[in-house]
């Protein structure tokens, strides 16, 4: 009997260790940060559902297999407070269970988005009993006293109602988190004040007139040297005081209002994050609508988890793992760069769904070690096979990425065509594939598709080039210098090609090449990385396919992983 008991106990302990091992975790720090799932490297190759799809069993059943077939490994799906708690205190988890079971059936993971007190600033997902009880659940107000459909985040009853439902939800999904189905949680959705940069309700006014809480002032003291530069400037511009009321420390304009409001939102979300932490250990994050197009706080959703407010969010919500941008505006590289600051892990829960998403994914994963990406309204994307190709290539590349956090990412368009760098004496120049005029679309006025690639230096003279739409050349530093001299000889002061009276070009033989070691291509293989990190050759690329040894390239229509070896001559 004792033996059976011991065996049972051992089995339980083993099961628990398997369960715990299935969880999603952020590993490492700084630029080397990455996700693991069940101890294995994991990149979220995701897509977010349109807002209402997950409320329909039929649509979930129809859509999830398509997402799997599209190459996604994760679906970002809302959990709707209004459907979950139709009467106060009575919970119905049918919608959440449907998402979890359909995800399991289709081998997908889930990031749940808590559509609680706020969704895109508004409180539209609050249950009807909440919406209609304005007295108990006060709304935020503008300076002129206008009530908005935005629950006031400083109201204890708003928080308690939201937190109670959120806790019931998180408790409910805890098992799915342990078996690795649920991999992350987003708390609320695109929080932010509209019309007004802060809440002018009486409760909020009272707080605004009081001293800045010690939680923030001590954060400022401790992190003075690493504050976001915009926030550091705002604080310094108002005297860099260590304490005082909000307007004493930060001024009395809309930017100061935004600082106050961001801290209030962060305190609220921080407490929700603490609630979640009692039941799950997966990463927790918040997302933001961007402060784009020259808009001012209140014209854009003010006080959300925006890059320039990261310190307020960190001070108020230390249990959050990171803040994330939703990118719908042009200037993708600029937006992601804003969020890859202050040691913030980069995850893009929403991005404008388009033909360039695959290239953008390669770029952010290569350049910023992004934890993952997720185009919005992914279920309307069935025809975008480019994204499928990108995702299946990234899935194959994941083990190599995990062991090479120090890598490069490039993103090219018709405007940004070239990127070059040098390491251990080798100049690497990556360009848009259409800088080669060979494809008719390069020159016939067609829109150039975005090209995106990851370049990994495996060892001296050994690289991985993976992605789409790039051509890469390798030269030695010495060779690059000699070539530059040749070019100089050929150009006049005005930068025009120099030719003598008879039309003969400048004499390149004036450049001394003796002793200049050059770099050549030893081999290029299209490969498929294996679980153990080895590279299985799919195809040798030579002759026309590497321009007789002059370059390495991947066309704009596909995604490939190339293993490149160089030599010196």
Chain residues binding ligand DGJ by CB under 6 A are 51, 120, 189-190, 326, 350, 376
Q: Which is nearer to ligand DGJ, 220 or 373 (CB)?
A: 373
Q: Which is nearer to ligand DGJ, 300 or 434 (CB)?
A: 300
Q: How far is the CB of 404 from ligand DGJ (least distance, A)?
A: 33
Q: Which is nearer to ligand DGJ, 324 or 393 (CB)?
A: 324
| DSSP secondary structure of 94-131 | HHHHHHHHHHHHTT-EEEEEEEEEEETTB-TTS-HHHH
Strand 552-554 versus strand 470-476 pairing type? antiparallel
Q: How far is the CB of 176 from ligand DGJ (least distance, A)?
A: 22
Task: List CB contacts of 159: < 8 A, sequence separation 6 or more.
Answer: 153, 268, 271
Strand 408-412 versus strand 451-459 pairing type? antiparallel
Structure tokens at 345: 């892990």
Q: Which is nearer to ligand DGJ, 120 or 393 (CB)?
A: 120
Q: With H, G, I as helix, E, B as strand and everything else as coil, classify residue 57.
A: helix
* CA-wise closest residue to 310 among 291, 293, 292: 291
Q: How far is the CB of 315 from ligand DGJ (least distance, A)?
A: 24
User: Given strand 24-27, what is the order of strands in its sheet?
Assistant: 24-27, 34-37, 40-42
Q: Which is nearer to ligand DGJ, 126 or 556 (CB)?
A: 126
Q: How far is the CB of 302 from ligand DGJ (least distance, A)?
A: 16
Cβ(103)–Cβ(64) below 8 Å: yes
* CA-wise closest residue to 431 among 421, 419, 441, 415: 419
4-13 long-range contacts, CB within 8 A, separation 24+? none
Q: How far is the CB of 350 from ligand DGJ (least distance, A)?
A: 6
Q: Which is nearer to ligand DGJ, 82 or 326 (CB)?
A: 326
Q: Which is nearer to ligand DGJ, 54 or 320 (CB)?
A: 54
Q: How far is the CB of 94 from ligand DGJ (least distance, A)?
A: 21
Q: How far is the CB of 35 from ligand DGJ (least distance, A)?
A: 22
- Residue nearest ligand DGJ (C-beta atom): 190
Question: Per DSSP, which regions of 122-257 are E strands?
Answer: 139-141, 147-151, 182-189
d(CA 495, CA 559): 37
Q: How far is the CB of 300 from ligand DGJ (least distance, A)?
A: 12
Q: How far is the CB of 369 from ligand DGJ (least distance, A)?
A: 24
Q: Which is nearer to ligand DGJ, 184 or 397 (CB)?
A: 184
d(CA 44, CA 530): 19
- Computed on alpha carbons and rounded to an integer, the radius of gyration of the chain in Å comes to 27
Structure tokens at 126: 């609050």
Q: Which is nearer to ligand DGJ, 43 or 113 (CB)?
A: 113
What is the phi/psi pair of residue 505, to 5°? Answer: -70, 160
Cβ(113)–Cβ(79) below 8 Å: yes
Q: Which is nearer to ligand DGJ, 77 or 454 (CB)?
A: 77
d(CA 166, CA 84): 10
Q: How far is the CB of 348 from ligand DGJ (least distance, A)?
A: 12
Q: How far is the CB of 190 from ligand DGJ (least distance, A)?
A: 4
Q: Which is nearer to ligand DGJ, 120 or 475 (CB)?
A: 120
Q: With H, G, I as helix, E, B as strand and everything else as coil, classify residue 135.
A: coil
What is the phi/psi pair of residue 396, to 5°? Answer: -70, -35
Q: Sign of the C-alpha dihedral, residues 498, 501, 505, 510? A: negative
* CA-wise closest residue to 64 among 98, 106, 120: 106
Cβ(452)–Cβ(419) below 8 Å: no
Q: How far is the CB of 326 from ligand DGJ (least distance, A)?
A: 5
The kind and range of the H/E element at 262 are: helix 254-277
Q: Which is nearer to ligand DGJ, 51 or 357 (CB)?
A: 51
């Amino acid at each position: 009997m004792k033996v059976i008991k011991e065996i049972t106990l051992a089995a339980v302990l083993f099961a628990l260790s398997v369960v715990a091992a299935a969880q999603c975790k952020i590993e490492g720090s700084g630029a080397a940060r990455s996700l693991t799932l069940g101890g294995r490297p994991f990149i979220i190759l995701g897509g977010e559902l349109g807002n209402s799809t997950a409320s329909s069993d039929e649509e979930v059943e129809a859509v999830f297999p398509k997402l799997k077939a599209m190459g996604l490994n994760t679906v970002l799906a809302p959990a709707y407070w209004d459907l979950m708690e139709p009467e106060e205190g009575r919970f119905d988890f049918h919608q959440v269970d449907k998402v979890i079971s359909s995800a399991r059936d289709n081998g997908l993971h889930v990031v749940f988005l808590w559509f609680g007190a706020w969704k895109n600033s508004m409180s539209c997902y609050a249950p009807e009993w909440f919406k209609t009880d304005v007295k108990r659940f006060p709304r935020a107000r503008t300076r002129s006293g206008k009530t908005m459909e935005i629950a006031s985040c400083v109201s204890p009853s708003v928080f308690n109602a939201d937190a109670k439902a959120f806790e019931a939800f998180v408790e409910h999904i805890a098992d799915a988190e342990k078996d690795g189905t649920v991999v992350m949680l987003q708390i609320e959705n695109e929080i932010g004040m509209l019309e007004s940069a802060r809440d002018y309700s009486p409760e909020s006014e009272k707080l605004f007139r009081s001293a800045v809480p010690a939680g923030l002032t001590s954060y400022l003291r401790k992190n003075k040297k690493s504050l976001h530069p915009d926030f550091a400037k705002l604080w310094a511009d108002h005297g860099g005081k260590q304490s005082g009321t909000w307007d004493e420390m930060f001024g009395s304009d809309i930017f100061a209002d935004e600082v106050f409001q961001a801290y209030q939102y962060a305190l609220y979300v921080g407490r929700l994050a603490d609630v979640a932490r009692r039941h799950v250990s997966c990463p927790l994050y918040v997302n933001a609508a961007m402060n784009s197009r020259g808009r001012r706080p209140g014209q854009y959703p003010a006080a959300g988890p925006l890059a320039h407010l990261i310190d307020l969010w960190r001070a108020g919500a230390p249990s959050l793992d990171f803040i994330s941008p939703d990118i719908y505006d042009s200037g993708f590289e600029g937006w992601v760069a804003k969020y890859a600051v202050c040691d913030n892990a980069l995850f893009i829960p929403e991005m404008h769904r388009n033909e360039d998403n695959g290239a953008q994914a390669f770029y952010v994963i290569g350049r910023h070690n992004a934890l993952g990406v997720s185009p919005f309204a992914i279920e309307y994307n069935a025809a975008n096979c480019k994204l499928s190709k990108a995702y299946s290539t990234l899935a194959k590349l994941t083990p190599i990425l995990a062991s090479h956090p120090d890598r490069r990412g490039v993103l090219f368009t018709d405007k940004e065509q070239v990127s070059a760098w040098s390491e251990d004496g080798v100049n690497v120049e990556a360009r848009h594939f259409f800088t080669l005029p060979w494809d008719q679309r390069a020159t016939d006025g067609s829109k150039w598709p975005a090209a995106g690639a990851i370049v990994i230096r495996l060892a001296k003279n050994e690289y991985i080039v993976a992605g789409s739409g790039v051509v890469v050349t390798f030269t030695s530093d010495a060779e690059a210098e000699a070539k530059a001299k040749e070019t100089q000889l050929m150009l006049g002061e005005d930068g025009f090609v120099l030719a003598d009276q008879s039309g003969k070009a400048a004499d390149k033989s004036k450049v001394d090449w003796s002793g200049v070691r050059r770099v050549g291509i030893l081999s290029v293989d299209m490969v498929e990385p294996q679980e153990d990190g080895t590279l299985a050759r799919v195809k040798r690329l030579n002759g026309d396919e590497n321009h007789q040894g002059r370059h390495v390239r991947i066309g704009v229509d596909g995604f490939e992983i190339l293993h490149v070896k160089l030599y010196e001559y």
